[in-house]
Structure 1
């Protein structure tokens, strides 16, 4: 398993580099073919390479991705290493170790019959070309197991995830000379300031205690956060244009709908200014009900295998598990590698956990596909 992991990590696969992702897909496909005895279906959408194996009539979907957030050349500053039981390297945790564990888990079974394996190449950028493929593959199945890394160093599984939305609020004003006749302009930067304050206050309005009567969620309240801001063109001109990027994380579909209403309902405060709201819903929430049954099964299996009791946690980050859950497929996430530091200089995998996690996944697949 370590040899396979080293091979995958040494093949860099930055999401934005489609050629690198294609090379990675070849390597992942060869690994799967060796361990599973079958060549994958290669699916290229919008220049991004995805892989799918289908064995018989699927009952269970295994979901992973082979792209990473690490730009080409990152191996020079973050080389592959195995020291004191810890593996390091670009994408080692998120999620190349999860892919290795997935293939070895299936290879340990008498047959992969009844399983579909989907490995996408654009998860780190929101799965724009693979979403339909994920939903199509998950629809009507008994279970989806997502090989994203565990929630923490204890190996906690991810039993719920917030949904995501992304917006850009464009403020249209009117340019004028800032010194000679500022009164003839409409200051888009000033209007943007009003909108930032309005958006920052939306969290309460979109929360579980709002008028829709939703019960509080295990994921907590929505977070609606203005992030990137820009305005103006020169130092001596009243800004005619400003832009505000907004990151939204929501616990439930109802909260996502409510947030969209609030964003679309923004109105300009400065006379003459005009707003355009772009963007919208991205990933739907993965609510706790989607994972409850599978988490109970995983907990029983862990106990039977003599492993530490499993914990399930709700997390704010999204994954392709949001998509599988949204089409009604029971979904359990975080079954991949155990470690921490994803996307950061400290990214690492605890090697001692790789075989136990592989055994857990193999037994989960065996029981869920019956």
Structure 2
């Protein structure tokens, strides 16, 4: 509705103020205390909107939040996360600032802007005495940046109950394209064992774990197939302890990205069944697929087309994109539920020092989500 857009634009300063407050409340995934403080703020804001909020306690990460708004037989699920990749103290190094229509700050795009959009979309509906067309449940978890290990079950349980799922991760690029496809993400640890020996006196008695790891890295990287959209990257390597010893151990962390489950199963098997090249060396691989691929389906296309009728009157042209990064939307998509991702902030630089949002797009995103939820 155009009225929603007019209202959101008139309250743009308030929306940005909410976002600034959340950016300045740091929430590094590993800092439970800080993340819980932010969670308390978010809980209070949603409760002001007459939402029902329950906390899902966690021991090592921040407590997850589940927000319920409205009534109805069918459920719309919104996915957000409050944790960021930025260690506590980053805000002192890179404080929130606005320059030339862009707002900067750690975690502003990924994805505190999405939480602000959800809050103010509900506030916009309340101001217009409108209720969501379906019951709305919002999951705001605190461990998305490390794989959603403690929240995945919650997300999947709620996705199964939902008619549609919208993830408020940032849109793709400066167009803010909605994400209709995401690559699956695999995470592996490779452990190599050898035999220690003096590098000068008795090198022939040693088995170099570092040399074996070099063979493993070359083989793993050979699994990359850009034509299929498959990438294997050894991102972290550690081995040995001193210069003059044949290294008895080495470890590596491996990232896998794939576009289909069939490809995921093929490459995962290749990685897990790695064998040593050097006689006497040992190779152990642990890990697997963390997030299944989110493949563009007919139901995805239908959902995208259905919400274009809300975007067009607002002057918003919704495009789509397939991306390599992972999100919680993939857990829902793997269950066959219609999912659209990227309804949060518009900007660039997630996980980067120059991370920013386009300020003028915030009220447009608020109005779009409010229109989708109201069905008008």
Question: TM-score by structure 2 length?
Answer: 0.90
Q: List 4+ stretches of structure 1 deviating above 3 A.
A: 55-58
Alignment check: 8 A CA contact 1:155 1:338 kept: yes
1:195 partner SS:
helix
Equivalent-residue separation in structure 2 for 1:194 and 1:296 (angstroms):
49
Partner of 1:302: 311
Alignment partner, residue 123 of structure 2:
107
Tell me the alpha carbon deviations over residues 179-203 of structure 1, each in whole angstroms, 9 at most, x when there is no partner: 1111111111111111111111112
Partner of 1:13: 27
> Kindly tell me: are residues 58 and 91 of structure 1, through their superposed partners in 2, closer, same or farther at Cα, counting changes over 3 Å?
farther
SS of aligned partner of 1:344: coil
Q: Distance in 2 between matches of 1:200 and 1:38?
A: 49
Q: Distance in 1 between matches of 2:102 and 2:284?
A: 49
Contact 1:45–1:130 (Cα < 8 Å) also in 2? no
In structure 1, how many angstroms separate the alpha carbons of the residues matched to 2:292 and 2:37? 31
Between the aligned partners of 2:35 and 2:256, the Cα distance in structure 1 is: 28
Displacement after TM superposition at 1:177 (Å): 1.3
For structure 2, list consecutive stretches of 5 or more residues without a partner in the other structure: 1-14
Deviation of the 1:39 alpha carbon: 3.9
Q: Assess, with a 3 A threshold, how the Cα gap between structure 1 residues 326 and 184 changes in structure 2: closer, same or farther.
A: same
**Aligned residue among 171, 177, 184 for 1:150:** 171
The residue number in structure 2 matching 1:46 is 59
Deviation at 1:142, TM superposition (A): 1.2
The C-alpha deviation readout for 1:215-269, integer Å capped at 9, x for no partner, is xxxxx42101122112212211111111122110010111111111101221111
* Whole-angstrom CA distance in 1 between matches of 2:301 and 2:158: 21
In the alignment, which residue of structure 2 is the partner of 1:85?
A: 101
Q: Is the CA contact (8 Å cut-off) linking 2:51 and 2:68 kept in structure 1?
A: no
Q: Do the aligned partners of 1:339 and 1:349 also contact (CA within 8 Å) in 2? A: yes
Query: Could you tell me whether the CA contact under 8 Å between 1:140 and 1:328 is conserved in 2?
Result: no
Per-residue CA distance 1:30-80 (angstroms, 9 max, x = gap): 11112x212410111233311101243552101101111121122212112
* Partner residue, 1:286: 294
Shift of 1:345: 1.9
Structure 1 residue 173, shift from structure 2 partner: 0.9
Deviation at 1:325, TM superposition (A): 0.9
What CA RMSD, in Å, does the superposition of the two structures yield over aligned residues? 1.7
Residues 158-178 of structure 1: CA deviation (Å, up to 9, x unaligned) = 111001001111111111111
Stretch of structure 1 that moved more, 94-103 or 75-84: 75-84
Out of 222, 247, 250, which is 1:242 matched to? Answer: 250
Equivalent position SS for 1:108: helix
1:199 aligns with 2:207: no
Whole-angstrom CA distance in 2 between matches of 1:329 and 1:365:
17
Residue 81 of structure 1 deviates from its aligned partner by 2.1
Aligned-partner Cα distance in 2 for 1:10–1:200: 40
* SS of residue matched to 1:196: helix
Structure 1: 5+ residue stretches without partners: 209-219
| Number of residue pairs matched by the alignment | 353
Question: How many Å separate the matches in 1 of 2:251 and 2:105?
Answer: 36
Tell me, what secondary structure is at the counterpart of 1:288? coil
